[in-house]
Chain A
Amino acid sequence: MLSEQAKQEILASLKKYHDKRSAVMDAVRIAQKENGGHVVKRDMEEIAEILEMQPVEVNAAAAFYTMYRIDKPVGRHHIQVCRNISCSLMGAEHIIKHLERSLGIKTGETTTDHRITLSTVECLGSCGTAPMMQVNDEYYENLTEAKIDELLKKMA
C-alpha cells in the first residue's frame, strides 16, 4: 500500500503535466523508494488508479526502464559498478572482482543478511573520475581497493 505521503507526492507530480499519464515515471520511482528499492505489483495497481491508466500500462512503461526493479528486491545498500569503456580502461573489472571477493557474492547477488546487493551497470556519466560506482543515490569516484574497503566497513 502506498503511504499518504507517497500519494501526496504523486499528486504533486501530476501538476507538472498536461496528461496524468506523464506522472507515471515519478509515481513508480516514489513507490520504489518507499518500498526500499523495488516496486511491487500492488503499488503499480494503486498508481494505475490514481493516473487513470490500466495496471498493465503502468507495468509496460516501468518495465522499459532499467532502474525500476519490478519484484526484484535489493539489499539496503545497492552497489552499482560501472563497467563501460572509460571505467574499464581504468580497471573496472578489478574493482568488480575485489567487491565480489570482499562480499563473498557474485555480481547480481545479495548478501545473505540482505545488507548489500552488487550489480554492474552501463555508463553513469562520471568518466573523468573512473573507475566509479553508485551506492543507492551516491556516486563514489576514483575508486581504489583501499577506498572500497573503507566504504564497505561503513555499510551497516
Chain B
Amino acid sequence: MEKVLLKNLGKPGSHTLANYVASGGYKAFSTALKMKPDNIIQMVKDSGLRGRGGAGFSTGLKWSFIPKDPTLQKYLCCNADEGEPGTFKDRGIIDHDPHLLIEGMAISCYAIGASKSYIYIRGEFVFGAERLQEAIDEAYANGYLGKNIQGSGFDLDMYVHRGFGAYICGEETALLESIEGYRAQPRKKPPFPALAGLYGKPTVINNVETLSCIPAIVEKGPEWFSKMGPVKSPGPKIYCVSGHVKKPGLYELPMGTTARDIIYNHCGGMLRDGKPLKAFIPGGVSAPLLMPADLDTPLDFDSLAAKGTMLGSGAVIVMDTSTCMVKTAYIINRFFSHESCGKCTPCRDGTPWLTRILKRIEHGEGRPGDLELLDGVCDNIFGRTFCPLGDGAVMALRGALKNFREEFQYHIDHKRCMVS
C-alpha cells in the first residue's frame, strides 16, 4: 500500500518545508484555493473519512455544521493532545512531517471559512511543539500562511497552544476551555462547538491524523480514498502497536486490517517464545480488551463496535500469558482516576473507589464480595457522567472482568497472583 500519512517517516530532513515541497507538498492546498469551499466539504464527505481521534464521526459532515455566515469568526482546533495510553501516532506525524498537518489544516480552514487555527499539543511533547512552531514559521515565510495566501484573498493564522498535563484536554470541549485559559473541564452539549465553540464562535475540532488525510483526498480524489478498506470506514489508518510483540511501533495500513495480520505479520509475532497471546486491547485503554479468538476481527470502527469494543485511537496493546489481568486492570483504572477532572461526582468519586478496590485485590488484600462491589460501582458510573472519561474507565474494567473474572477471584481467594 502506498503510504499517505507516514510516507516521510525516517527520511532525513523530512520535517523541512523544502523537502516537503520537493515531494509534492502544498500542491493540494494550491488546488483547494482554486475550488469553492463547499466543494471541498463535499469531497471530504464523499471520501467517507471518519474522525481518527476515536469517535469516528464523519469529518465532512462535522464541517458542514459550521454556519456559512462570512461575518462570523470561525476557528479550527487541531487536537494533538494525544494522551490515550498506547497511542503515539500523532507524535509520529508532528515530529517527522509537520507540514503535512499544516497543509491539512490550511485546506480544512479554507473549507470551513476559518481564519484562525490552533494546534493543541500536549505539554510533554516539547520537541513536537518546537518542531511545529518552526514549520509554521517556514509556512508563513513562504506564503502558505498569513494574509491573502497565494493571491486568493484567504487569510489564515496558525498558532501552537501547549497543554500542560491533563488527559481530559483530549475531550473537545475541555480542550476549548483550556485554550480559553480555564481548568479543562468539559462543557455541556448542546450547544455543539460547530455553533458555539472557542470564544463562543463556530469551531471545528479534528485530530492530527484526520487532518493529515485531507491533502491526499484533495489531490487524489474522494473515490481513491473511499476504495481503501471497508466501505463504511475507509482510508489509511495508523495502528500504534505496543506491548509483547517483536517489533512494536507505528504501522500505516488500510483501515480494517486484522489484529492477526498486525501482530503476527507486521510486528513479527509475539515477543517471547512459549508466551502466546493472552489478550489485546484494540483501541487504547478505554476500549474493552479482546481475546485470541477475536484475532480475525477487522480493526475498524464498525467491526469493533459489533464486538462490544472500539477502534478508539488505534492503539493496539498486546499482552502475552505472563500478564496479570488484575494488575493490568489496576494500572488502567489508576490512570483514569488520576485523570478524572473532578467536574461530576460519579467519575470524580467513582473512579478512585474502583482504584482502591483493585489495588487491594492486586496486593492480596481483596475481600469477599469485592467483585460484586466493582460491578455495582461501574453501574453507578456508566452513562451517568458528563463526558466519556468515566465510561471509558468502566468499559475497560468490565471487559477485563467479563473475560478474566476467575483470575480476579483467584487473587481474592488465594491472596496472590495466578500468573506470576
Which residues of chain A are near B179, meaning CB under 8 Å?
17, 22
Chain B residues closer than 8 Å to A25, beta-carbon distance: 161-164, 178, 181
> Contacts A85-B332, A128-B248 hold; do A65 and B163 have CB atoms under 8 A apart?
yes
Whether A4 sits at the interface, judged by CB under 8 Å, is: no
Q: Which residues from chain B sit less than 8 Å from chain A, CB to CB?
A: 82-88, 90-91, 118, 122-127, 159, 161-167, 178-184, 199, 240-244, 248-250, 281, 285, 315, 317, 319, 323, 327-328, 331-332, 335, 338-339, 341
* B240 touches which of A68, A128, A137 (Cβ 8 Å): A128
Chain A positions 16-75 with a Cβ under 8 Å from a chain B Cβ: 16-19, 21-26, 28-29, 51, 53, 60-61, 64-68
Which residues of B are found within 8 Å of A88, using beta-carbon distances? 327-328, 331
The reply to whether B91 and A122 contact each other, CB–CB distance below 8 Å, is no
Seed contacts A23-B181, A28-B164, A67-B123; 9 additional CB < 8 Å A-B pairs: A18-B199, A21-B182, A25-B163, A67-B164, A85-B86, A88-B331, A122-B335, A128-B88, A130-B243
- B124 and A86 within 8 A (CB): no
List 12 A-B pairs, Cβ < 8 Å: A21-B181, A25-B164, A26-B162, A66-B166, A123-B335, A127-B87, A127-B240, A127-B317, A128-B240, A128-B248, A130-B242, A139-B127
Chain A interfacial residues counted at CB < 8 A = 40
Most buried by A among B241, B248, B327: B248
Known: A84-B331, A84-B335. A29 touches B88 (CB 8 A): no
Which of A26, A28, A89, A127 is the one whose CB lies under 8 Å from B244? A89
Q: A66-B166, A122-B85 are in contact. Are A85 and B285 (CB under 8 A)?
A: yes
Cβ of A105 within 8 Å of any chain B Cβ, yes or no, is no
Q: Is A90 an interface residue (CB 8 A)?
A: yes
The answer for the CA separation of A130 and B243 in the assembled complex, in Å, is 8
Cβ–Cβ contact B86 & A86, under 8 A? yes
Whether B243 and A66, one on each chain, are in contact in the complex, defined by CB atoms closer than 8 angstroms, is no
User: CB-nearest residue of chain B relative to A18?
Assistant: B199
Shortest distance from the beta carbon of A67 to any chain B beta carbon, whole Å? 4
Interface membership of A126, Cβ < 8 A = yes
Picked from B124, B181, B184, B248, the residue with its CB within 8 Å of the CB of A127 is B248
Q: Which of A18, A85, A129, A130 contacts B328 (CB 8 A)?
A: A85
Please report the C-alpha to C-alpha distance between residue A65 and residue B124 in the assembled complex, in whole angstroms.
12
CA distance A67 to B315 in the complex (A): 24
Instruction: Using known A-B contacts A23-B181, A125-B125, A128-B88, determine if residue A86 contacts B164 with beta carbons closer than 8 Å.
Output: no
From B162, B178, B243, A29 is in contact (CB under 8 Å) with B162
Interface string of A103-125 (1 = CB under 8 A from B): 00000000000000000001111
| Given A21-B180, A66-B165, A90-B243, A126:B88 Cβ within 8 A | yes
Q: Are B85 and A84 in contact (CB under 8 A)?
A: yes
| Least CB separation from A53: chain B residue | B181
Q: Which residue of A lies closest to B75 (CB)?
A: A18
Report the Cα distance A68→B164, complex, angstroms.
Answer: 7
Give every chain A residue within 8 A of B315 (Cβ-Cβ).
Answer: 127
Q: Which one of A24, A68, A84, A137 contacts B181 once the chains associate, using CB atoms below 8 Å?
A: A24
How far is it, in angstroms, between the C-alpha of A89 and the C-alpha of B125 when the chains are bound?
Answer: 23
Q: How distant is the Cα of A123 from the Cα of B183 in the complex, in angstroms?
A: 20
Q: Is A137 in contact with B331, judged by CB distance below 8 angstroms?
A: no
> Which A residues are CB-close (under 8 A) to B240?
127-128
Most B Cβ at <10 Å: residue of A21, A53, A68, A89: A89
> Are A86 and B181 in contact, CB atoms less than 8 angstroms apart?
no
B183 touches A128 (CB 8 A): no
Knowing A64-B166, A123-B85, A125-B82, the reply to whether A83 touches B161 (Cβ < 8 A) is: no
